[in-house]
Chains A and B, each alone.
Chain A
Amino acid sequence: MKKILILAIALLMCGQMAAQENNSSRIPTVDLKTLDGDAFSTKQMYTGEHPFIVSLWATWCMPCREELDAISLVYEDWVEEFGVTLYAVSIDDSRSASKVAPFVRAKGWDYVVLQDINSDFKRALNVVDVPFLCIFDKNGNMVWSHTSYAAGGEEEVYEVLKSLEK
């Protein structure tokens, strides 16, 4: 049993490496909710025209809030320059889910804020911890992802968006 398992994992690892050369992954389809409680399928994020950013966050996660606060200062410029949309997907569960809308609207964030109440989207993206931010190019391929946030980290996001223009 153990040998098979090791073999299986090795096989998968190799496969994984081969697969990563393509460095492409379409966005997984998961049903989320908008701040009003309407259904929103992650498929709707992909328009085929512009790149988009997905940021997984929670109201109780300090670095997540710092990251989204920092991006909010430059978001308008990014939208203008790249036509990018940021989907801020909250993983707050039923404990704090109802606090997300008041929190976000008071902040005045202009992102499309969505709710992933039982972390289905987080799991589909294989995310271990929040904050987790990933960038999809206009063809819907994930081209970059990052976990954790340090002040100034948004600069790298900008660089990646810029590189997509080329």
Chain B
Amino acid sequence: MKNSIKTLVVIALTTIMALPSYGQSKWGHIGGDFGFNGMFYIPDSTIGAREVKEKVRANTWLNLNYTNGGFSAGVRYEFYSFPLIDFEDIGYKGQGLTNYYLDYKNEFIQVTAGTFYEQFGNGFTLRAYEDRQLGIDNSILGARVKVTPYKGITLKGVWGIERKNFDFDYLHRKDYVRGLDGEFSFGDFIPKLGEKGFVLTVGGSFVSKYEKSENDMFIDYPDPLADGIIYADKIPQNIATWAARLNFGYKGFRLEGEFAHKNNDPNNTNGYIYKTGNALLVTASYSMKGLGVEASFIRSDNMDFRSQRDISASTPLLGINYIPAVNRQYTYMLLGNYAYASQPNGQIGVQAQVNYKVPKNTKLGGKYGIDITVNYARFHDVEQKLVPDAAASNMQIGTEGYTSSFFKFGDNLLYQDVGIDFSHRFNNKNWKLDLAYNFITYNLTILQGHASPLFRGHNLMGKVTYKINNKHALKLEIDHLYAKEDDGSWLYALLEYSIAPHWFISVSDQWNYGNEDRDRRFHYYNIAAAFVIKSTRIALNFGKTKEGILCIGGVCRSVPASYGAGLSVTTSF
């Protein structure tokens, strides 16, 4: 049954898609992308790179999209049966048609049937998205309608089942998600507002998850006295969240805010407590030519929201919403090893940033000016006072858990970052220099789950780019992290030679020279080459990867140590 449905879908879609492309362009257009990421693994017990039985592993996908006027359709096939080991570790293993959709859109309405991605506001109540590098794909299979009844009003409705890696047994799923979102832009109703430089948008969303609860839940704890039982009729089957948001702007000034609330949702990530959750994000910014200032406040408490209540917090699987980590993201190598991961179930903090440009054609700024960024971020956990029930039995399961005063910072510092960076192109425009200094404090115990004192690191990064001529350029990056905790100090250097627009060759080394254990002062070297032609990229690399965390957009997952040679081919067409 399942297979024949799939077969039908494939035949129908490919016919729709393939036939017109043989014709003229009035029959529409086909585009897509293809990716292959493979690696040949070599075991190396010193750094913890384990033996991989198949030796070679790869992730492969093909995406095809057909558009013709307001109509579009698409399919994606993913082949991850023998995936890269870090994908296998998070259960992203299997193969199949993961995405297929039909979509029609005009000025007034958009209707989608099949798989889709969607976000309401900041994503506090709903964010279906994908990050192929992290192995996150929580697309929704179902239907979506977007309506614009009047310019400035957008209404959306969604219903569907979230993707759970390669488990396509949708007929037996006992959970689904439905949601509504509306946004009103006042500038479109009151043209005078816009003319005077005002922007005012308000929005709201409501999302509810249904998950059948048939069985009593027995929760094992290492201590048998603490085992808990929650009876099936006590488990909420419908869990609602709502959020309200505002965006106000006047000339260069902008104020944005969103508040979300979640009903009681006992689940694995919060220890099966009945507490409600909430989140608040407020951001104010001011910008003008040459200057930008931004400050944010975020608090989220018990906001981990998943399609299935037994999913553990250690995987990004089946997340319905998204609570961002609002600190600045760095692309420097060594700071990446201590990137802050958002804590939807308990974080409170601030982030502030100033971007300034020393003007061009001044004594200090030279011909091209100097870009300066100053940044500060600090996040704590939220205060937790056990409710009497929980305090009496010393376990939170099945109780309201804890209470927490809203604006109070918890006792545990999670992350702090103070930093400044400069970027300058010299009067001889072929030379460019980037310098950055950061002091970070990082709570390894809470953020990476291994007991350790607070990590404090001073990071200094310098990068010089020299354009030899129109096409040839040389880049040298040196990054130093001074620390006493965890693995101690690190030194990283990268030398890259590029011939625009086709060739890149680089060598790099990450050296843990400051490790207290002399036998663990490893070199993680890497040699890489890439060839790019238009939107096709072919890259080869050979080297070692350290065990650690990989973070993109504040979402992190652990990566195992590895050693070997990789080949990556990606193309868009």
Contacts and interface: CB of A to CB of B under 8 A. Distances in A.
Interface of A: 1, 4-5, 8-9, 11-12, 14-16, 18-20, 22, 24-26, 28-29, 31, 36-39, 59-62, 66, 69, 73, 93-96, 98-99, 101-108, 117-120, 123-129, 132, 134, 144-148, 150-153, 155-156
Contacts of B572: 125-128, 132, 145, 147
B145 to A, nearest CB: 15
B329 A25 contact: no
B570 A62 contact: no
Interface stretch (B122-130, B443-451, B484-492): B122-130
A69 B472 CA distance: 17
Nearest to A92: B553
A127 B33 contact: yes
B7 interface: yes
Interface string B5-44: 0110011001001111110110001111101000000000
A4 B11 contact: yes
Given A9-B62, A37-B199, A117 B119 contact: yes
Given A106-B292, A145-B535, 7 more contacts: A5-B10, A8-B10, A16-B32, A19-B29, A31-B154, A37-B249, A126-B31
Interface residues of B, number: 106
Interface string B331-362: 10000000000100000000001011100000
A53 to B, nearest CB: 14
B211 interface: no
Contacts of A95: 324-326, 329, 342, 553-554
B500 A151 contact: yes
Contacts of A93: 123, 129, 322, 324, 553
A146 to B, nearest CB: 6
A161 to B, nearest CB: 14
Interface stretch (B280-288, B400-408, B517-525): B280-288
Nearest to B106: A29
Most buried by A among B283, B500, B571: B500
Contacts of A150: 473, 498-501, 503-504
B353 A102 contact: yes
B63 interface: yes
B573 A8 contact: no
A123 B530 CA distance: 23
Contacts of A11: 14, 18
B86 interface: no
Question: Chain B interface secondary structure, helix, strand, loop or mixed?
Answer: strand
Contacts of B287: 101-102, 104-106
B64 interface: yes
Contacts of B322: 93-94
Given A99-B353, A102-B294, A106-B287, A152 B472 contact: yes
B458 interface: no
B290 A156 contact: no
| 7 A-B pairs closest in CB distance | A102-B292, A106-B355, A151-B473, A15-B21, A150-B498, A152-B500, A95-B324
Nearest to A117: B119
A37 B371 contact: no
B67 A39 contact: no
B225 to A, nearest CB: 42
A24 B67 CA distance: 12
A155 B18 contact: no
A103 B283 CA distance: 15
B319 to A, nearest CB: 14
A56 B20 CA distance: 29
Nearest to A119: B129
A126 B294 contact: no
A9 B504 contact: no
Interface in B102-155: 105, 117-119, 121-123, 127, 129, 132, 152, 154
A107 B373 CA distance: 11
B470 interface: yes
B57 interface: no
Main secondary structure of the interface of A (DSSP, over half): mixed
Given A126-B572, A128-B33, A15 B331 contact: no
Given A22-B25, A106-B357, A129-B570, A152 B471 contact: yes
Nearest to B477: A62
A103 B6 contact: no
Contact of B201 (A8, A37, A101): A37
A106 B535 contact: no
B170 to A, nearest CB: 17
Given A1-B3, A38-B185, A105 B289 contact: yes
Contact of B117 (A69, A120, A152): A120
Contacts of B229: none
A28 B123 contact: no
A146 B335 CA distance: 29
A1 B535 contact: no
Contacts of A108: 289-290, 357, 369
20 contacts: A16-B573, A22-B24, A29-B70, A37-B249, A93-B123, A94-B127, A95-B554, A101-B285, A102-B294, A105-B288, A106-B357, A119-B117, A128-B35, A128-B132, A128-B537, A134-B535, A144-B534, A146-B535, A151-B467, A152-B470
A8 B97 CA distance: 12
Contacts of A24: 25, 29
B451 to A, nearest CB: 28
Nearest to A62: B331
B530 A148 contact: yes
Contact of A103 (B18, B31, B355): B355
B467 A103 contact: no
Interface string B38-67: 000000000000000000000000111101
B307 interface: no
B328 interface: yes
Given A22-B24, A38-B187, A152 B285 contact: no
A117 B127 CA distance: 11
A1 B96 CA distance: 10
B103 to A, nearest CB: 10
